[in-house]
Structure 1
Amino acid sequence: MRKPVEMFDRDHEWSALSRFITDEQPGATLGVVSGRRRQGKTFLLDAACRAAGGFYFGATEATDAESLRRLGAALTAHRRPPSPYHFADWAEAVDALLALGADRPTPVVIDEFPYLAKANPELPSIIQEALRTLRGERTGSRTRLLLCGSAMSFMGRILAGNAPLRGRAGLELVVPTLDYRLAAEFWDLADPRLALQVNAVVGGTPAYRREFARGDTPAGPEDFDDWVERTVLNPETPLFREARYLLAEEPDLRDTALYLSVLAAVADGNATRGGMAGYLERRATDIAHPITVLEDAGLLHRDADLFRDNRPTYRIAEPLIRFYHAVMRPVWDQLERPGSAARVWRASGRRFVSNVLGPHFEQVCRDWTLRHADPELLGGLPARVGHGVVRDPQERMGYEVDVAAVGIADDGRPPLLAIGEAKWNDMMGLGHLERLRLVRELIGRAGRYDTSHTKLLCFSGSGFNDRLRGAAETAGDVLLVDPPMLYGNA
């Protein structure tokens, strides 16, 4: 299958679909494709159907009977039989889809499958029965049935535990957001510092540039403020209300106000369960369920503390939601008034840097350490990269570690490959390096990790002074990382 020239990246996803769809083995097979909204799943699957001569059906929120009627009409238009299709039930409809692959491997896509399953909860069981081993309709077909959905909580359960379709799928593909490097290329941003600022606002969701911003990208670093005002903070653009709609589109989020408040607590710097509970003036047990639901929906991510057990912290997974809660939601009434964007944005500079850009920069530094850093620089391949708090028992204080890379243990303590500090708006100096050396010593005393070869990483969005640069040149365990290096330009 030839990938469309207009499709940006998605080489891995296209290759996986190609292998699944063109597999010549007899028997119908099942694949599951999921991913958050606006990532291009529909474009990807529709293109695959066109390339392989398959059938695509996009479900909508409708009754069971209407969905069957729509599927029959779509299949009639696709095959043009002597008489139109009229399905009495889903068992009959699924068998008709399996019949599409009678002669050759044929992709059949049911997009937004959660809508159909919501109207008819028995549908997964019906598909399970249709794909039963030795059933004639299955063995005589080479249909490659692909179920796709954006409701991450639902799609995460479809193949889990005792779910009817568990063990039936030959493909489980998650379409992720573009990582920060691909996002810079997609938004056509050559300046790494500007690319990081844009990524902190809109993340790596492809639709935000093509459809929501209508191709509007910052012309340069000096245009960033104006770009924010004319896109994200502009009530006339879809980006303005997108963060709210992302919550409303998740079927498991019923009490929207509570979930909004949980996200607001995290955006305000309350990253622990106790911190969130205090912000909301509730008990920690009262917010356990909302946290779990937001995690399942892919909107909240839990990070383990690499230095203290059972002390996880939480971060908002979607940058646009974090930007909304930190910058937009507190002054929503102001923003809804025409012409207020510039005034609001000028007053939000400090909050944007401290609550949005700073935390995002730290996460990009962790992503670089895990996915892009040369293992030779770190002294090994990281098995885990995270952050945490290191306690000094004598001084009775804690030191936050923004980046920590743990290697693979070989018959002993896991090696701590590197620890690092990330500062977006500060020029780093020797004080930051001395702090890292102290923290490395404290970790070594604790005995959990082998720190004999731990590298010290200084990440800065604003540069390093001459004394720190000199120290890095003479010391073999110090690495300075700036935005060009994060983006592979150094």
Structure 2
Amino acid sequence: MKPETVFDRDAEWDALVAFACDTRPGPGLGVVSGRLRQGKTYLLKELTAALDGFYFGAQSAAQAESLRRLSDELAQYTGTSPPTHWHGWEDAIHALLELGDRRPVPIVIDEIPDLVRQSPPLPSAIHSAYRRLRDTGRDNRARLLLSGSALPVMHRLFSAASPLHGLTDLELTLRPLDYRQAARLWNIEDPGLALLVHAVVGGTPAYWGYGGERAPGGLADFDAWVCRTVLNSRTPLFLEAHHLMQEETDHWDRALCHSALTAIASGCSTQGEIAERLGAPLADAARCLALLRENGLLHGEPDAFRPKLIRLRITESLLAFEHAAVWPYRSALEQQGVAEVWRRARPVFDSAVAGPHFAQICRDWVMDFADSAVFGAHPATAAHGSLPDPANRVGTEAHAEVVVRGPAGARPGALLSVGMARWDEVMDLHHLEHLRHLLDLLASGGEEITHTRPACYSGVGFTSALRAAEANGHVVLVDLDRLYRGR
């Protein structure tokens, strides 16, 4: 049974237990990855505690120190004297796998990238140990789990060029909680408040504890909650965005990375726009953006109407919040009252953070929660779309924040829906007219729109006229209550 202290993560827990308890003969190898603060260590410690397994948390240390710590902890686990004959990782891995000679047992090496940096031959040592056990047919049921947060290193460890490629029986990625799970974690019932909190801290489980394990008391308390948590220099959240950059960008040009994130948070979404905003050569900007993507801090997806145009967004809410609403005011926080600084930053948060975040939540709803009948088929993608609008002045574009397509292999799928998302705007018939104009533009470009459904997503509601259009089947309307509770 999953421990009550583990919030959600039911599917992840079941997958780990199934792997760890697999009674088939032969050693098993699993990999658990995910960005920092997602609960990997906590989950794996609970797994080894529940199944009487062995857990070793790696640290940045020389090989000799790591092997000494491992031998001491293994001796404590087995109740024997520490081994004195280890000459390297080959001996250590052999000793660990021997734990599975009597029964299936989970053996966890957490944060293995820290070990590999100091001992590059470690993956080969693991491969050799597995090959020996499997070649000899030895009745061993060790279930070794390798975990890490350094995503580029984890990808390399199990890439086609790695000795570990093809050995894994389980590959598990811990992602942030989705927005509905996050609302339950924070125990927030008001969907408007839940979205605002999610726009600040996202679905990272650790931030619940960092925030004092207490959500705002209501919408009226949100500003004060921001001031006493993420803007409070006495709390861990105050410097968390800085720590994320320190730990996940691997000492590359962090100044350029900060500036790139600031450009994206201010509305730049393509590589060219970001390079222009930075005043940096395109090649330098491209390397910086690639680094951020490799570490899971940026996500790129094709524009819904122009697939060759890749749009970038920040995946970590706290980083978007920091670089849009806090970064310009960092020095002021040291000289002025927090409440006064937040009063000046709040309009930026509403427009540059909450608005885009709401649009992303709408796209997530389409993919994860909307009934397939809403759009006439199961969605394959939900993305931002833009195209030139000849009706407006030169250089302007028509945008749709929630463009839904069906499956179609490598080609863009059928256009199921074109939607607008407005966080702080009551939507009316003129929004529906904008969508119809956009559909006309698409039709003139050869897009099939016969079955495309216009959709309006609003954080504050719809006029009675737009509700009447919904009743007549002319538009799909999605409000906050439907985002958080409906399909």
Using the size of structure 2 for normalisation, the TM-score is 0.96
Give 1:19-38 correspondences, 5 Å limit: 19-38=18-37
In structure 2, relative to structure 1, the CA distance for the partners of 1:191 and 1:86 (3 Å cut) is farther
CA distance in 2, matches of 1:182, 1:147: 26
CA pair 426-131 structure 1, distance change in 2 beyond 3 A: same
Q: Provide the rounded CA distance (Å) in 2 between the counterparts of 1:412 and 1:130.
A: 44
Deviation at 1:247, TM superposition (A): 0.9
1:93 is the counterpart of 2:92 = yes
2:371 aligned partner? 374
Match of 1:316 in 2: 314
Match of 2:224 in 1: 226
Range moving further from structure 2, 70-79 or 153-162: 153-162
Per the alignment, in what secondary structure is the counterpart of residue 164 of structure 1?
Answer: coil
- Compared CA separation, residues 38 and 423, structure 1 to 2 (3 A): same
Q: Is the 8 A contact 1:387 1:401 kept in 2?
A: yes
8 A Cα contact 1:95 1:137, kept in partner: no
The AA in structure 1 aligned to 2:38 is Q
Give the distance between the partners of 1:287 and 1:180, measured in 2 at CA.
31
Tell me, in whole angstroms, the C-alpha distance in 1 between the residues paired with 2:116 and 2:409. Answer: 47
Please give the alpha-carbon distance, in whole angstroms, between the structure 2 residues aligned to 1:148 and 1:83.
24
Q: Please, which of 253, 256, 263 is the counterpart of residue 255 of structure 1? A: 253
1:149 aligns with 2:148: yes
Q: Which residue of 2 aligns with 1:203?
A: 202
2:286 aligned residue: 288
- TM superposition outliers: structure 1 runs of 4+ over 6 Å: 410-413
Q: Which deviates more, 157-166 or 125-134?
A: 125-134
Q: CA deviation at 1:209?
A: 0.9
Stretch deviating more after TM superposition (368-377 or 435-444)? 435-444
Q: Secondary structure of 1:366's match?
A: helix
- Check 1:316–1:137 CA distance in 2 against 1; reply closer, same or farther (3 A cut): farther
Match of 2:211 among 206, 210, 213: 213
Q: 1:472 aligns with which of 464, 470, 473?
A: 470
AA of the residue aligned to 1:385? A
Q: Distance in 2 between matches of 1:203 and 1:419?
A: 26
Contact 1:235–1:336 at 8 Å: present in 2 too? no
Please say if residues 69 and 86 of structure 1, whose CA atoms lie closer than 8 Å, have aligned partners that are also in contact: no
Tell me the equivalent position of 2:397. 398
The letter for the 1-side match of 2:190 is: D
Structure 1, 160-169 or 410-419: larger mean CA deviation: 410-419
Alignment-derived partner of residue 106 in structure 2: 107
1:185 is aligned to 184
Q: CA deviation at 1:82?
A: 4.7
Match of 1:355 in 2: 352
Counterpart secondary structure, 2:131 = coil
Q: Which residue of 1 aligns with 2:446?
A: 447
Shift of 1:392: 3.5
Compared CA separation, residues 59 and 82, structure 1 to 2 (3 A)? closer
Matched, 1:486 2:479: no
- Equivalent position amino acid for 1:169 in 2: T
Letter in structure 2 aligned against 1:124: P
Q: CA deviation at 1:446?
A: 1.9
**Mapped partners of 2:383, 2:242: distance in 1:** 29
Residue type at the aligned position of 1:228: V
Q: Shift of residue 479 of structure 1?
A: 1.1
Q: Say which SS state the counterpart of residue 485 (structure 2) adopts.
A: coil
Aligned counterparts of 1:70 and 1:469: Cα–Cα separation in 2? 66
- Separation in 2, partners of 1:89, 1:83: 15
How big is each residue's C-alpha offset from its partner over 1:43-64, in whole Å with a ceiling of 9 and x where there is no partner? 1111111111110000011011
SS in 2 for 1:247: helix
Answer whether contact 2:27 2:133 (CA < 8 A) is retained.
Answer: no
Provide the rounded CA distance (Å) in 1 between the counterparts of 2:85 and 2:326: 49
Structure 1 residues 166 and 394, CA gap change in structure 2 (3 angstroms): same
Residue in structure 1 matched with residue 124 of structure 2 by the alignment: 125
Alpha-carbon distance in 1 for matches of 2:410, 2:65: 61
Return the alpha-carbon distance in structure 1 between the equivalents of residues 83 and 212 of structure 2. 40
Give the match for residue 299 of structure 1. 297
Structure 1 equivalent of residue 381 of structure 2: 384
Distance verdict in 2 for CA 1:69–1:86, change over 3 Å:
farther
C-alpha distance in 1 between matches for 2:411 and 2:67: 59
8 Å contact from structure 2 (residues 298, 314) kept in 1: yes
In structure 2, runs of 5+ residues without a counterpart are: none
CA change 1:410–1:28 in 2 (3 A) is closer
Judge conservation of contact 1:392–1:398 (CA < 8 Å) in 2.
yes
Amino acid at match of 2:449: T
Letter in 1 for 2:292: L
Moved more, 262-271 or 101-110: 262-271
| CA spacing shift, 1:85–1:429, aligned 2, 3 Å | farther
Deviation at residue 126 of structure 1 after TM alignment? 1.2
CA distance in 1, matches of 2:10, 2:136: 33
For 1:327, which of 325, 328, 332 is the aligned residue? 325
Residue by residue, what CA displacement relative to the aligned partner does 1:316-357 show, whole Å, maximum 9, x if unpaired?
1100001111111111111134x6210111011210011100
The one of 341, 345, 348 equivalent to 1:344 is: 341
User: RMSD between aligned alpha carbons?
Assistant: 1.8
Q: CA deviation at 1:438?
A: 1.2
SS in 2 for 1:487: helix
Aligned to 1:244: 242
**Separation in 2, partners of 1:92, 1:137:** 17
User: Which whole-Å deviations, capped at 9, do the CAs of 1:278-309 have from their partners, x for residues lacking one?
Assistant: 11101222211111110010001112112113
For residue 419 of structure 1, give the secondary structure of its aligned residue in structure 2.
strand
Which has the higher mean CA deviation after the structures are superposed, 128-137 or 289-298? Answer: 128-137
* 1:156 Cα deviation from its structure 2 partner: 2.1
